[in-house]
Amino acid sequence: MKNLLIVLLAAILVSGCSSNPYSKTNRLHKKQVKQYAKELKEFPIEDNGFQAPLNYGPYEVGTTNFNLRKPNFVVIHHTAQDSVRQTLTTFTIPRTQVSSHYVIDDNGEIYHMLNDYFRAWHGGVGKWGNTNDLNSASIGIELDNDGKEEFSIAQINSLLKLLKELKEKYKIPQANFIGHSDIAPTRKVDPHAGFPWERLAEEGFGYWYDEEKVRDLVIEKDLPKSASEDSLAVSEDIQKPTENRSNLVPKNFDPIMALRIIGYDVSDPVAAKKAFKLHFIQQEDTDAELTDFDLKVLYNLYQKYL
């Protein structure tokens, strides 16, 4: 009996110690956080390491008016890995140099891997609007998905709850919920074309186009000259008169300028157009040619972002 009790106690101890497979890397995480906290507490900087120190005043003066920097974007990814366990391991190996604030399992479980105020390494080289260091301004969310499979209902429901919390907590603008492919169109294609961007927009996370308005749009350059001038032509697409110019995509509409207004980096126009089509037309492996429908969608969205 005594030997049996010893065995049971040993088993309990082993199971208790091995309940969290990331206990070792968690210790490293806490150590690094403690080091950053120590650096933040330093005041004033007495020795800046330069041979010619700055001419500091005779006494310490710390402002009372400050707070932590807050994230202003959310960037959504898919992991492109085989399992959430593989992703968690990848994000806890120093040599990989990649991380994210949150990882959401296919079953809806959320792993909060980094304090929201810290800078995760999830975006890499990228740009959105005038922001060219998204890692410093965003929260990264990775969805457990190999890049081809459907996103599960449980996963998307958890994502929506998380986005609601982040939006309210940090006052993130609706337009600033974007994908990795949006900020890095020459390198990335995540989240893939099956991602429910329209559902997110309905909940206030990102924008989507108005189907009815897009359906009623007419591309002015395709109209006969006289009809374009008086805006009273009948469109073959919708078979109804264009009573005014509000439902016309004007001749001078510049798609590249519109993409830039939305936020895309248009230094590579082909990549920018492909990224737009991946997000809003929901097409992968497509060419950069914008169809009439694509132009109408782009025009409708461009007006939202103005």
Residue 6 forms part of a structural domain: no
Residue 275 forms part of a structural domain: yes
Residue ranges making up the domain that contains 106: 73-202
Residue 43 forms part of a structural domain: no
* Rounded CA separation 161/278 (Å): 24
The verdict on whether omega for the bond into residue 44 sits within 30 degrees of 0, i.e. cis, is: yes
Domain stop point among 180, 202, 224: 202
Q: What is the pLDDT of residue 243?
A: 47
String of b and e for 79-107 (b: at least 16 CB within 10 Å)?
bbbeebeebbebbbeeeeeebbbbbbbbe
Question: How many domains in the chain?
Answer: 2
User: Does residue 222 sit in the same domain as residue 298?
Assistant: yes
User: Does residue 177 sit in the same domain as residue 128?
Assistant: yes
Known catalytic residue at 142: yes
Residue 249 forms part of a structural domain: yes
* Rounded CA separation 142/179 (Å): 10
Residue 14 forms part of a structural domain: no
Q: What is the pLDDT of residue 5?
A: 45
User: Does residue 215 sit in the same domain as residue 184?
Assistant: no
Q: What is the pLDDT of residue 9?
A: 47
User: Does residue 215 sit in the same domain as residue 142?
Assistant: no
Query: Chunked in runs of 10, what are the mean pLDDT values of the chain (306 residues)?
Result: 48 57 92 89 64 75 88 98 96 96 98 97 96 97 97 98 98 98 97 98 98 95 63 44 70 97 98 97 85 97 95
Q: What is the pLDDT of residue 151?
A: 98
Q: What are phi and psi of 47, to 5 degrees?
A: -135, 110
Encoded tokens for 254: 């510049």
Domain stop point among 171, 202, 233: 202
Whose tokens are 């800078």? That residue is 119
Q: What is the pLDDT of residue 216?
A: 96
Residue 23 forms part of a structural domain: no
Residue 12 forms part of a structural domain: no
Find the catalytic residue in 42, 46, 142, 203. Answer: 142
User: Does residue 86 sit in the same domain as residue 188?
Assistant: yes
User: Does residue 230 sit in the same domain as residue 282?
Assistant: yes
Q: What is the pLDDT of residue 235?
A: 43
Q: What is the pLDDT of residue 238?
A: 39
Q: What is the pLDDT of residue 237?
A: 44
Residue 45 forms part of a structural domain: no
User: Does residue 102 sit in the same domain as residue 167?
Assistant: yes
What pTM, to 2 d.p., does this model score? 0.85
